[in-house]
Amino acid sequence: MCPMRFGRWATFAAALLTPLPSLAQVSYLARFEMEKPTYLMGEPIFSKFTIRNTGSQTFQFVFRTPSRVLARELESEPRFRLTGAARHLLPDPAPKPCGGAAGTVVYGSVTLPPGQAHTERWLLDQWARFTSPGRYRVHAERRLPLFALDPRTQQPSKRPVAYALALDELSFELVPATDAQLRSTFQPFLETLRDPKKTHPAEAMLVITTLPKPFFLSELVAAASPSSADRWDRKLALEGLARLGTPAAWKAILAIAQGKNANPASPEKDGSLRAYAILLLAEKGNAAFLPPMLEMVSKVHGEVRDSLLRALGFFQDPRAHQALFDQLHSESSTDRMNAILGLKNLGTKETIPALMAMLNDPEPQVRQVANFALAGLTGKKFALSNKASPEEAARLAADWHAWWRQNAASFFPPRPPSCREW
């Protein structure tokens, strides 16, 4: 298919938006294209985005490492729509996780003088799950704000002077592959991770965690381990292990959650990593993970303990439920708050009486969290001020009890949204 391009009228669009700082013109050519016409089934599938400065004015735009952002409304992000031979939309491999979308995005900037080009590679496997060989189509689009660079001050304009528009219809074919062929395909990415001199392994990490294979399990475990260098976010490696989904991969995640081989020199980082491992185990929801997690309740503290109590709510198991009910009587107000949030994660009406009882907790923060949990479970909202007195909290509890007496028999909480399918 012939790609559709919009670079021809970029100069005119820029002139309409705002006066340029000089007589120089902003003009560009922007397009997506597939790197190859044919890919092996299971290998990384990249689409390449290129923007070329065809005008006489230097301009700037934002740039980041090519990992997908789940927030669709963010400006400058590429958007891909992938379909199979029958024009059916392919399944999206990145639904919202149980614990909410994790991580942040850090943007940099690119300065593009006249005549020069900038290229980015986007891993399409982040937008679609490919399950069989065949012919596939890609609708790719992007609206990238361009900022003029003042030649005197070298400062970018406050508002975009143009939007680089790229809108392309592409296609490619997937063909069957042998294990040996796939090993060869992934070898360059694995070598990048193994080489400590490679200071920018973001793309390699993205590939091996988006498309994990059993033959590089050891690399994923090493990338997630506390002893690994700070060349990447170790949480990404945990996600790669979860996507791999083999018993050995989940065993490695459990070991990290339990703090095995933790690095005493970086307790804060290890605590955050352990907390994320706990969340992934909870999202998987395998009953085999529950006994070691319940054993951890009496041994952990801080961020790890907070995450553990909340995560127990994702297990549909009476043992997890009882552990949370027990923590409602903890001497620690933090434990009580996290137990409330864990019970909210259960998404069942049986927790509502216990949550209403927590509206009488002596700590204002605990009362606030209980009110928040009840509102989230029921859809009913009663206001509670941040500095509510015990008397105001008592009136709130009476309102909730009155509402529950009228609605308990007929009320069923809405079904919780689905989590990632690990």
Q: Which region among 2-6, 276-280, 310-314, 401-405 has the lowest average model confidence (pLDDT)?
A: 2-6
Q: What is the mean pLDDT of residues 323-330?
A: 96
Q: What is the pLDDT of residue 416?
A: 72
Q: Residue 227 pLDDT > 60, yes or no?
A: yes
Identify the DSSP state of 321: H
Q: What is the mean pLDDT of residues 213-229?
A: 88
**How far does CA 376 lie from the centroid of its chain?**
22
Alpha-carbon distances of 145 from 10, 94, 129, 406, 416, rounded to whole Å? 12, 26, 30, 54, 37
Q: Which region among 71-85, 125-139, 163-177, 319-333 has the lowest average model confidence (pLDDT)?
A: 71-85
Query: Residue 180 corresponds to which tokens in the numbers above?
Result: 């040996």
Q: What is the pLDDT of residue 20?
A: 42
Q: Residue 349 pLDDT > 70, yes or no?
A: yes
Q: How does pLDDT run across 7-60, given as a tens digit for each residue?
A: 333 443 444 444 444 446 889 999 999 999 999 999 999 999 999 999 999 999
- Residue predicted with more confidence, 318 or 388: 318
Cα(170)–Cα(3) distance, integer angstroms:
7
Q: Residue 93 pLDDT > 60, yes or no?
A: yes
Q: Residue 117 pLDDT > 80, yes or no?
A: yes
The pTM assigned to this predicted structure is 0.85
Q: How does pLDDT run across 237-270, given as a tens digit for each residue?
A: 999 999 999 999 999 999 999 998 766 656 667 8
Q: Does residue 395 contact residue 389 with C-beta atoms inside 8 Å?
A: no
Which band of pLDDT confidence, cut at 50, 70 and 90, is reported for residue 101?
low
Torsion of CA 229, 71, 279, 335, to 10 degrees: 110
Q: Residue 163 pLDDT > 50, yes or no?
A: yes
Alpha-carbon distances of 397 from 166, 223, 349, 367, rounded to whole Å? 56, 49, 17, 10
Q: Does residue 396 contact residue 361 with C-beta atoms inside 8 Å?
A: no
Q: What is the pLDDT of residue 422?
A: 81
Q: What is the pLDDT of residue 99?
A: 62
Q: What is the mean pLDDT of residues 413-419?
A: 75
Cα(309)–Cα(334) distance, integer angstroms:
10
Contacts of 22 (CB under 8 A, 6+ apart): 57, 151
List, in sequence order, every residue forming a beta bridge with 121; answer none if it has no partner. 48
First to last CA, the chain: 36
Topology classification of domain 7-175: Immunoglobulin-like (2.60.40)
Pairing of strands 162-175, 117-123: unpaired
Contacts of 402 (CB under 8 A, 6+ apart): none
Residues listed for the chain: 422
CA–CA–CA angle 352, 355, 356 (5° rounding): 85
Q: Residue 375 pLDDT > 50, yes or no?
A: yes
Q: Residue 303 pLDDT > 60, yes or no?
A: yes
- Residue predicted with more confidence, 275 or 17: 275
Place of tokens 């669709």: 72
Q: What is the mean pLDDT of residues 191-200?
A: 90
- Residue predicted with more confidence, 237 or 102: 237
> Where along the chain do its domains lie?
7-175, 178-262
- Residue predicted with more confidence, 395 or 416: 395
Q: What is the pLDDT of residue 156?
A: 87
Rounded mean pLDDT of the chain?
A: 88
- Residue predicted with more confidence, 265 or 169: 169
Q: What is the pLDDT of residue 264?
A: 60
Cα(306)–Cα(42) distance, integer angstroms:
38
Pairing of strands 59-63, 134-148: antiparallel
Q: Does residue 94 contact residue 82 with C-beta atoms inside 8 Å?
A: no
Which band of pLDDT confidence, cut at 50, 70 and 90, is reported for residue 153?
confident
